[in-house]
Amino acid sequence: MKVKDTLLIKLLYLVVFLLFFIIGGLWLWQSFLLKTYTIDHLKTPTPKQLQRFSFKPDPEVLKELNTEDVN
């Protein structure tokens, strides 16, 4: 009976360890690898991202461009 109990305990530890290892590995995979390897340039940027990277010209340069002769 004693040997059976120790084998069951070892088997239980093995199952718990494997479950922990698999769940931990899946969590790491989804949290790090998917963030690293997603194709960001195919995603449509949000308005906040567009605003952050939009070009804001210097007002002095705009005045110069507007006053120049088109010809």
Residue 46, token pair as written in the block? 């949000």
| Calpha distance 45→30 (Å, rounded) | 22
Angle at the Cα of 45 from the Cα atoms of 43 and 51, rounded to 5 degrees: 165
Does the pTM exceed 0.95?
Answer: no
pLDDT score recorded for residue 32 = 75
| Calpha distance 12→18 (Å, rounded) | 10
Q: Cβ–Cβ contacts within 10 Å for residue 16, how many?
A: 10
pLDDT in tens, 8-62: 999 999 999 999 999 988 888 877 766 665 555 556 767 777 777 666 777 787 7
pLDDT in tens, 46-58: 777 777 766 677 7
The residue among 21, 22, 13, 40 whose CA lies nearest residue 5 is 13
